[in-house]
Structure 1
Amino acid sequence: MADAAGTGGWGFTDDRGAALAAGRAPERVVAYVRAGAALLDLGVRPLAVYGSGHDGEALDPVKAGGLAAAGVPYLGPGRALDAARLRALGGVDLLVDVTYDGKSPYAVDEALAAESGAGLAALSVSGELSLPAIVGRFGELASALGAPPGTAGRWGDAEAAVRAAVSRADVTVLALSGAGPEQVHLARPHAWPELALLAELGVRFVDPGPGPGANWLTADWEHAVGLAPGLVLFDSRANAVPPHAVPPGARLAPWNPETPPSPAACARFLQDLAAALEDREP
């Protein structure tokens, strides 16, 4: 929320419950790639972005959204950043990260913010929140950072496209992330906000089965093939490997588990999924 401190200056309370306050709205923002891509969609151009521990020295194009086209620099993995690197940018007002546990930022050390003199906001992207709630929080932050009115948008038409596709195509879906020839991580749909939304829209997901893991069931490819889905959503990020085995007759479609939480990105995801369900070009 804006002016959370009640001082007449700028304020925002993040999803860890941390209240940020400043004399004016932060202008020089550095963000985790996923958060930065969402902010860009919402009308706030980051000064630069950084990656997670899964990312290398080059920006993963699957996670980048419109960042590369907008010329936003990539600083490499967040855990490798130091205060000197941020100061070399000419100063940073705010770091924006995501959080999965509501306690800690995912991709950057909290100490970096203190060392660099920047604030740190972490917004939740966990499965405990609905996708609209997550997108709404990023919209609130973008608004607090001065995003132009009307940039939030909606994705109702894209939801309708998924419902229509479901009514025309009787397809079961399995979402997974390849880990190599011996292992595959099978997504538990309720743990992923975008997959949970698809389920609400009528998409029939295959249950990966019992076992450890709140977000994924780690299994072998034989188990995945045996689930016999009609459509496989495969993790298309650079740190995942392509499907090692494909269930007979199944179609493949890419899935980015770190889709930027913005209306525009979510609408594209839903439209692409609707096309995949009906086996047509998006």
Structure 2
Amino acid sequence: MSGAQPWAFTDDRGVESVAARVPERVVAYVRAGAALLDLGVAPVGVYGSGHDGAGLDPAKAGRLGDAGVPYLGGGRGLDEGVLREARPDLVVDVTYDGKGPYALDEAVVERLGIPLVALSVGNELSLPGILGRFDALAGSLRGGPAAGAGSGSSGLADAEDVLREAAGRSALSVLALSGGGSGQVHLARPAAWPELVRLAALGVRLVDPGPGAGVNWLTTDWGRVGELRPDVVLFDNRAHAAPPGSYGIPDAARLVPWNPETPPSPDAYARFFRGVAEYLAS
């Protein structure tokens, strides 16, 4: 498929985007852009969410920084003029509810008169399903299977085998959390996060934080972490999350970085799974 041929893609809101030619200048939310880059589609710019500041968050960036992809600013505060200067012919965002884009005001894209694709990263899809959707989008932009997708998938399968073996030999309990500072912590509900569901399917013993308000997180104090007594803590390493410090994590617990916005690509998740396996095996 050449760039001069018609292009169409239906996103996870059920919205079909069409263009007279295959889009060549993609601007994307950081998470989506990092995934597309892994899949062989280099964005001309990326933007953050309301959590992000003036600079690109290294934890969310994947290979974007090394590739020199410009960071345009944070999400709904993004200057429309900056976006226009990037001259995109497609914007790619993510969606958690299947209704609207997560990070960017859809009206901004409408004023530019270009398509917006929003792909689901919520728990209505399995992790393989999420990866498949990003691969499908990348393939549509390249005119076939995403470059490197085959080897990336193989690498992910190998990483899952390593993790499955490590989990099978380990009795360690694993708690995922995001620090909110000295006064509070957000404990992840494993069933709400596709990558945590996948960890559990591979044999990782994930800790449920227990009853309380919140669909994705139980927000509580750090004392609850001590009560749960996890052997391993997956801590949110994004820039806006408070580092784990010594608030209430048991001294013996192993700390493993976790990006709840890992780029949806086989390569990125292979790295994460191998990291978890390493800590389970050590």
Q: TM-score, normalised by structure 2?
A: 0.94
| Alpha carbons 1:83, 1:116 under 8 Å: kept | no
Letter in 1 for 2:170: A
Answer yes or no: is 1:277 the counterpart of 2:280: yes
Q: Distance in 2 between matches of 1:79 and 1:40?
A: 23
Residue 207 of structure 1 aligns to a residue whose secondary structure is: coil
Matches within 5 A, 1:126-205: 126-146=122-142, 149=145, 150-152=147-149, 153-154=152-153, 155-205=156-206
Q: Distance in 2 between matches of 1:94 and 1:237?
A: 26
Q: Percent identity?
A: 62
Instruction: After superposing the two structures, state which structure 1 stretch, 219-228 or 240-249, moved more.
Output: 240-249
Q: Distance in 2 between matches of 1:268 and 1:39?
A: 16
Residue 55 of structure 1 aligns to a residue whose secondary structure is: coil
Partner of 1:97: 93
Measured on the aligned residues, the alpha-carbon RMSD in Å equals 1.3
Letter in 1 for 2:166: A
Residue 168 of structure 1 deviates from its aligned partner by: 2.0
Letter in 2 for 1:142: A
Partner of 2:62: 65
Residue 86 of structure 1 deviates from its aligned partner by: 2.0
Instruction: After superposing the two structures, state which structure 1 stretch, 10-19 or 241-250, moved more.
Output: 241-250
Instruction: After superposing the two structures, state which structure 1 stretch, 190-199 or 142-151, moved more.
Output: 142-151
Partner of 1:12: 9
Residues 128-186 of structure 1 deviation map (CA, whole Å, 9 limit, x = unaligned): 21100000000000001116645213111111011110122210000000001110000
Residue 59 of structure 2 aligns to a residue whose secondary structure is: coil
Q: Distance in 2 between matches of 1:254 and 1:147?
A: 35
Structure 1 unaligned spans of 5+? 3-7
Partner of 1:5: none
Letter in 1 for 2:137: L
Q: Distance in 2 between matches of 1:74 and 1:151?
A: 24
Residue 202 of structure 1 deviates from its aligned partner by: 0.5
Answer yes or no: is 1:21 the counterpart of 2:24: no
Q: Distance in 2 between matches of 1:190 and 1:200?
A: 11
Aligned residues: 272
Q: Distance in 1 between matches of 2:262 and 2:165?
A: 22
| Alpha carbons 2:72, 2:83 under 8 Å: kept | no
| Alpha carbons 1:42, 1:147 under 8 Å: kept | no
Partner of 1:80: 77
Residue 240 of structure 1 deviates from its aligned partner by: 0.3
| Alpha carbons 1:226, 1:247 under 8 Å: kept | no
Partner of 2:239: 238
| Alpha carbons 1:35, 1:98 under 8 Å: kept | yes
Residue 248 of structure 1 deviates from its aligned partner by: 3.8
Residues 177-209 of structure 1 deviation map (CA, whole Å, 9 limit, x = unaligned): 000111000000110111110000000011100
| Alpha carbons 2:29, 2:48 under 8 Å: kept | yes
